[in-house]
Structure 1
Amino acid sequence: MIGYHASHEQHAPSELLEAVQLAEQAGFEAAMCSDHLAPWTRQQGESGFAWSWLGAALATTSMSFGVVNAPGQRYHPVIIAQAIATLAEMFPNRFWAALGSGEALNEHVTGDPWPEKPVRQERLHESFDVIRRLLDGEQVSVRNDLTHVHNARVWSLPAEHVPLLGAAASEETAEWVAGWADGLITVASTPDATQRILERYRAGSGRGSARLQVHLSLGASREEAVREAEDQWAHSTVPEELLWELEGPEDYEALARLSDGAIEESVVVSDSAIDMAERIAELAAGFDHVYLHHVGPDQKTFLRRCETELLPELRRIL
């Protein structure tokens, strides 16, 4: 399945709603979105509230939707369970959520300390357990090391099982989420690194669908595609060990590395839809779903090229 990624960091909610409607008309079968409080850089300049936007997006299209969420600090897991349940009840078999450990960029606003990765992962697993039990109709009280819930119940439940995927950006995390998640979602980097994440998930007895998000920049010229990628997705060149630790857009801007083709380590850049389709297909080998994110600001032109060039070629070779 080929889906469209809606980036709340880059577009106003009204503009993004129009984009997903156009994406469906262009031939996309599904969509997903981010869940940020802040953009990665000031140049992106937006960050709408994903959960209210998702209701509008689901109501005005017929596609399935997913969201990548970090429960445990900015969001209490009981609130996320209720949000998931409400959307899944209104739009049966059309909604999924992926759970990850999050970034300080979005979570530091609570004033709570930003934990080290092992603690974040423990908190994520505790949150997953609470959310899963609530979606299964249980009444939940827990007092774990990092998660406290008192006598909670979600009253409006969907009829079907809602997939809760695990978000992983490394092989180690992919193997870890294989032990508890209903599926995997990761972000493409190089073909070899991307495939190793998928292999580690499957080797860890990971079940369910494997989904891949691909950042790309399809321009009228290669120069334009590079320029837009560097302008809008510069944060992806920050050293990986710092991506989850920085607190403000200015921090990402200060550490961005926009020389020697660094942006192309995280963004597929091209002016040719045929070339881009081949590179996406290489990245997506073995995955069940691929979600395309055009990092450039002009989504309408991108979606027109998807309809006439990129999607037909990608379907031909996938």
Structure 2
Amino acid sequence: MLKISVLDQAPISKGSNPEETLQNTIKLAKWTESLGYYRYWVAEHHNTSGLASSSPEILMTQIAASTHKIRIGSGGILLPQYSPYKIAENAKTLSALYPNRIDLGFGNSPGGSPITQKALTDNHIKPKEDFYRQVSDLQGFLHNTLSRNHEYRLVKAGPRIDNPPAMWLLGLTENGAKNAAQLGIGFVFGHFINPKYGKIAMKRYNKDFVPSVNHKEPTTIICIFVVCAETDEKAEELAITQDKWLLNVGKGLGTKVQPREEINIEEYTKEELEQIEENRKRCIVGSPTTVKTELHKLAEFYQTNEFMIITNIYNFEDKKRSYQLIAEEMLSDS
């Protein structure tokens, strides 16, 4: 049976605010836990008015405190912008507070525009080719496995717990998959961002995987947009708000999710309609039966057993219902 999990970017709907949005994140985490979802991860975004998830570690703490068993994670920490040592200490502290429930997902994103990246790093931007070393150092700090000749070998990341969080590298390319494989780290492929290199990335990861203190065998998750409703027609209607949001994000416009009544499909240009069609390659939209069928097809395509679902539609109750219908269909045999 496929595992289903959640990625939450904490998108702010027009007319709402960050305070309400973050409270909805807590509500959605509790709701999806009750439905049987396996993980609940929160994203990291900066310098945007439409996404409230700018500090995943803090948000993870509140979500973990508000839930009981669902795994809580970051999807993902922007490793190049921070110190691997400090990330390790934050993650180990979370794991000490909530043992065997914390996932440390991280990626190689710049975190936003060039000026945003400068602000995040205090203008100490690391070269892209340094990422593998940073991942290796992070693993060393988490598990106390830095080599004897490492300059920070005597620096221990605290608290010194027995079971550090699982590491997951978020990637979009074959190179990211190769990095994850060589270090024995779980790999999350961002189908919801760009599915173009998904097949080749997953093949590389499984082929090159080297067991480590983190994972003994290849472990993968596919992250994808999903909008589900009772019928295909109703799901399509709900997905219009996500289509518009993705269109705006792609244009660098406002990132708040607009209500359906503000969206006039007839006003779309030919280019916008083509872009929406292209964006739909990153999504599954439909009834529970349709969603289940498509997820199983993708599971076979990617050779994975877990999907992380992201749903950025306008109405929060419709979002809750979407996750409910997916769980009832996908987990009905459990």
CA distance in 2, matches of 1:233, 1:155: 40
Deviations 1:163-219 (A, max 9, x none): 212221012321232111421111226888533322221011254411111112335
CA gap of 1:211–1:155, structure 2 versus 1, over 3 A, is same
Shift, 1:37, TM fit: 2.2
Task: Mark the CA change 1:208 to 1:160 in structure 2 (over 3 Å): closer, same or farther.
Answer: farther
Secondary structure of 1:103's aligned partner: coil
Conserved? CA contact 1:7–1:33, under 8 Å? yes
String of CA shifts for 1:134-191, please: whole Å, max 9, x gaps: 2224689966xxxxx6963223132214321222101232123211142111122688
User: How do residues 38-57 of structure 1 correspond to structure 2 at under 5 angstroms?
Assistant: 38-39=47-48, 42=49, 44-57=50-63
Question: Aligned runs of 1:201-212 on 2, under 5 Å?
Answer: 201-205=205-209, 207-212=217-222
Equivalent position of 2:96 in the other structure? 89
The 3 A distance-change label for structure 1 pair 267 and 280 is: same
Following the alignment from structure 2 to structure 1, what is the Cα–Cα distance between the partners of residues 105 and 25?
20
Q: Give the secondary structure class of the aligned counterpart of 1:233.
A: helix
For structure 2, the residue ranges without an aligned partner over 5 or more in a row are 13-17, 211-216, 257-270
The 8 Å contact of residues 181 and 218 in structure 2, kept in 1 or not, is answered as: no
Question: Is contact 1:216–1:292 with CA below 8 Å preserved after alignment?
Answer: yes
Which region of structure 1 is more displaced relative to structure 2, 5-14 or 202-211? 5-14
Q: 2:245 aligns with which of 232, 240, 246?
A: 232
- Asked if the contact 1:8/1:50 (under 8 Å) is kept, the reply is no
Aligned twin of 1:175? 178
**Residue 306 of structure 1 corresponds to which residue in structure 2?**
323
Which of 154, 158, 162 in structure 2 is aligned with 1:155?
Answer: 158
Check whether the contact 1:176–1:204 (CA below 8 A) recurs between aligned residues: no
Summarize deviations over 1:214-260 as a string: whole Å, max 9, x none. 1123356254234212232336757xxxxxxxxxx54999xxx7322
Q: Does structure 2 retain, via aligned residues, the 8 Å contact 1:236–1:266?
A: no
Whether the aligned pair in 1 keeps the contact of 2:227 and 2:235 (CA below 8 Å) is no
Post-superposition offset of 1:283: 1.8
Contact 1:27 / 1:311 at 8 angstroms: preserved in 2?
yes
Pair 1:165 & 2:181 matched: no
Contact 1:26 1:303 in 2 (8 A): no
Say whether the 8 Å CA contact 1:8–1:35 is kept in structure 2: no
1:146 paired residue number: none
Q: Which digits, 9 at most, give the CA deviation of each residue in 1:105-138, with x for residues without a partner?
A: 06342353766xxx32x32222222222222246
Match of 1:70 in 2: 78
How far is the alpha carbon of 1:312 from its aligned partner?
2.9
1:250–1:53: structure 2 CA closer, same or farther, 3 Å change rule? Answer: same
Structure 1 residues 134 and 192: CA distance shift in structure 2, 3 A: closer
Q: Please list the CA deviations of residues 16-47 of structure 1 after superposition, one character each: whole Å capped at 9, or x if unmatched.
A: 111111111223222112122234xx5x3433
Any residues of structure 2 matched to 1:90-239 within 5 Å, and which?
Answer: 90-105=97-112, 107-109=117-119, 110=121, 112=123, 119-120=127-128, 122-137=129-144, 152-188=155-191, 193-205=197-209, 207-218=217-228, 221-234=234-247
**In structure 2, the residue corresponding to 1:258 is in which secondary structure?**
helix
Q: Distance in 2 between matches of 1:236 and 1:212?
A: 21
Distance 1:83 1:259, change over 3 A: same
Listed one character per residue, the Cα deviations across residues 251-293 of structure 1 (whole Å, up to 9, x for unaligned) are 999xxx73221220222233x2211221122223321321111
Contact 1:294-1:302 within 8 A present in 2 as well: yes
8 Å Cα contact 2:172/2:195 also seen in 1: no
Runs of 4+ in 1 over 6 A off after TM superposition: 138-141
Letter in 2 for 1:302: K
Quote the offset at 1:316 in angstroms: 5.7
Determine the structure 2 residue equivalent to 1:243. Answer: none
Q: TM-score, normalised by structure 1?
A: 0.78
Which residue of structure 2 aligns with residue 266 of structure 1? Answer: 282
Q: Percent identity?
A: 13
Deviation at 1:9, TM superposition (A): 4.4
Secondary structure of 1:165's partner? Answer: strand
Question: Alpha carbons of 1:26 and 1:300: their partners in 2 closer, same or farther (altered >3 Å)?
Answer: farther
1:54 Cα deviation from its structure 2 partner: 0.5
C-alpha change, 1:305 and 1:230, in structure 2 (3 Å) is: closer
Would the aligned equivalents of 2:226 and 2:284 in 1 still touch at CA under 8 Å?
yes
TM-score, normalised via structure 2 length: 0.75
| 2:37 corresponding residue in structure 1 | 28
Q: Secondary structure at the match of 2:331?
A: helix
Letter in 1 for 2:60: L
TM-aligned CA distance change 1:168 to 1:181, over 3 Å: farther
